[in-house]
Structures are given as C-alpha cells and as structure tokens.
C-alpha cells in the first residue's frame, strides 16, 4: 500500500462526504 494512493482515496472520500453534507444542510435550510 502506498501512502500517496491511500491519501488520494481519503481525499476523494472526504470530498464526497462534504458534498453529501452540503446537500443535506441545504435541504434542511430550504423547506
């Protein structure tokens, strides 16, 4: 396992989670 590849996967996961969280917050803010 290479650190760089692992970090890349982590970043992608964080980005996806960020998108989902933003969508959820937007949904709660907008009725």
Q: Which domain, by its residues, includes 22?
A: 1-31
What is the token pair recorded at 2?
Answer: 């290479």
Handedness of CA 15, 17, 22, 23 (dihedral sign): positive
Can you tell me whether residue 14 is helix, strand or coil?
Answer: helix
In sequence order, what E strands does 1-31 have? none
pTM over 0.85: no
Q: What is the pLDDT of residues 1-31, one digit of tens each?
A: 567 888 899 999 999 999 999 999 888 876 6
pLDDT at 31: 63
pLDDT at 22: 93
If one counts the domains in the chain, the total is 1
Distance CA(7)–CA(31), nearest Å, equals 37
What is the token pair recorded at 23?
Answer: 């969508």
């Amino acid at each position: 396992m290479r650190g760089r590849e692992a970090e890349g996967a982590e970043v992608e996961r964080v980005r996806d989670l960020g998108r989902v969280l933003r969508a959820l917050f937007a949904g709660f803010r907008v009725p």
